[in-house]
Amino acid sequence: MLDIQNCCLVVVDVQGKLARLMYDKQVLFKNIQILIKTAKILNIPILWCQQCPDALGPTIPEIAQLLTDNEPIDKSAFSCCGAEQFNIKLNESARQQVLLCGIETHVCIYQTAADLLAKGFSVDVVADAVSSRTLENKQIAINRMAAKGINISCTEMALFELLQTAEHPQFKQIAKLIK
């Protein structure tokens, strides 16, 4: 189970024209925004990565505008773990659970999840907040990650798992995000 005190959110490579080519992109963008807003409400650390931004462009405005208090971590490795700054910030967070969202599921999300799992982290991939250019590529990656023991979740499942009870002080505020 996800735990507010032990979890961090990692937003991966939602950039430029590539982001606009994702399968079911409107749902993808909406759910990533919900996850970011939830993390902020619950004071969950957010790590934000960008793959070769000089080539792919910056994070799309509808996501970047929610991350103005975070510095993006630029990377060239497909796995976020290939960026030393990512590893430093992850270790500084002292969190052992990683909630992953972003693109592309079969490349950067898969490789990041696999590397984090190998390093001993509990990894939750939010299936409706990740995507690839094709549904087939996304589904192959989801299946492969699940077979490795990576937790597959969805946005609402992750939110309510973090809250654990309707009596949580931020329940109403977060519930409004999904209505």
Block mean pLDDT (10 aa), the chain, length 179: 97 96 97 98 97 94 96 97 97 97 98 98 98 98 98 97 95 92
Catalytic one of 7, 89, 108, 115 = 108
Residue holding tokens 């799992």? 117
Has 108 been annotated as catalytic?
Answer: yes
Give me the pLDDT at residue 56, please.
92
Dihedral pair phi/psi, residue 52, rounded to 5°:
35, 65
Number of structural domains (the chain) is 1
Give me the pLDDT at residue 179, please.
81
Domain that holds residue 43: 4-178
Has 13 been annotated as catalytic?
Answer: yes
As a whole number of Å, the end-to-end CA separation of the chain is: 23
Catalytic one of 8, 13, 124, 138 = 13
Residue 80's contacts (CB-CB under 8 Å, 6 or more residues apart) are 10, 12, 47, 49, 73, 86, 108, 112, 115
3-state secondary structure 54-113: HHHCCECHHHHCCCCCCCCEEECCCCHHHCHHHHHHHHHHCCCEEEEEEECHHHHHHHHH
CATH number of the domain within which 84 lies: 3.40.50.850
Cross-strand pairs, 15? 59
Residue type present at position 178: I
